[in-house]
Amino acid sequence: MRKLRFAICILLTQLLFAMGASAQTQRELRDSLSMINGLIKQHPTAVKLYLRKAALNIELEEWQYALETYDKILEMMPGNLTALYYRGFVYQHLKRYGKARKDYELLLKLEPLHEHALMGLVMTNLADGRITAAFDGANRLVELFPDNAQSYAVRADVEKRQKMFEPALDDIKRAIEIEDVEVQKRYPITVDDDITAYQLSAFELYMQMKNFRAARACVDYLVKNGVPRAYLNNYYKQMERR
């Protein structure tokens, strides 16, 4: 059995090296998925292979296939934290909030300080209209992880939903302050970086509060730090219309 697990790990390593840990095109993703499916036929109880398959299903937005794969993993290994988290994520995407909540809560019983499960639970409760539970979870996140920018960004989302713009702005500014340290280490930043989302969230809040100078400073910061101006054109146009 140990030799079998070792062989599977080698095959996975070779596969990910050949295809890239994060495939960039649909063709590459499907080729990778096809290879994984072939390996699963050879090793039908290899949980790592199923986890990789489900991850590819998510990247391809094959949500039902991902869900079925996570169900299979949890049949084989009921306490698998990765499968529990990502099945909750899939349920959340499918707007099956009760199922998502159940998975996140079970995961948190197994690992109470699982940060991403806490975040997932907050966002699930927010989407499901459970505002008090979302606030409680967001405050707990900040208490447990006060040095993590995402904790403040999540609480800002809850506050923004309730039109509590000033508290939301305070939280997103704290997230920016924390993340800015990382920005200086990896210049230039990209459109997919967390700091980009935080600055654009701050932009929206400043616009709501009619502080247009501060709103412009948010998008100017992004351009200065490497985000293409073309990506931000709609934000600049919003200010021009004011």
Q: Is the pLDDT of residue 19 over 70?
A: no
Q: State how far the Cα of 165 lies from the Cα of 201, in Å rounded to an integer.
A: 11
What pLDDT, in 10s, does the model give residues 135-153? 999 999 999 999 999 999 9
The encoded tokens of residue 80 equal: 């698998």
- Do residues 113 and 81 touch, judged by C-beta distance below 8 A? no
What pLDDT, in 10s, does the model give residues 107-125? 999 999 999 999 999 999 9
- Do residues 124 and 101 touch, judged by C-beta distance below 8 A? yes
What pLDDT, in 10s, does the model give residues 33-65? 878 878 888 888 889 999 999 999 998 889 999
- Do residues 165 and 208 touch, judged by C-beta distance below 8 A? yes
Long-range Cβ contact pairs of 60-69 (< 8 A, separation 24 or more) = 60/26, 60/29, 60/30, 60/33, 63/90, 63/93, 63/94, 66/90, 67/91, 67/94
Q: State how far the Cα of 201 lies from the Cα of 67, in Å rounded to an integer.
A: 31
> What pLDDT was estimated at residue 38?
85
Mean pLDDT computed over 210-238: 94
Radius of gyration over every alpha carbon of the chain, rounded to an integer in angstroms: 21
> What pLDDT was estimated at residue 17?
40
What pLDDT, in 10s, does the model give residues 77-107? 998 999 999 999 999 999 999 999 999 999 9
Domain ranges of the chain: 166-242
If you average pLDDT over every residue of the chain, what do you get? 88
Percent of the chain at pLDDT exceeding 70: 89
Could you tell me where the DSSP H helices lie in 20-46? 26-42
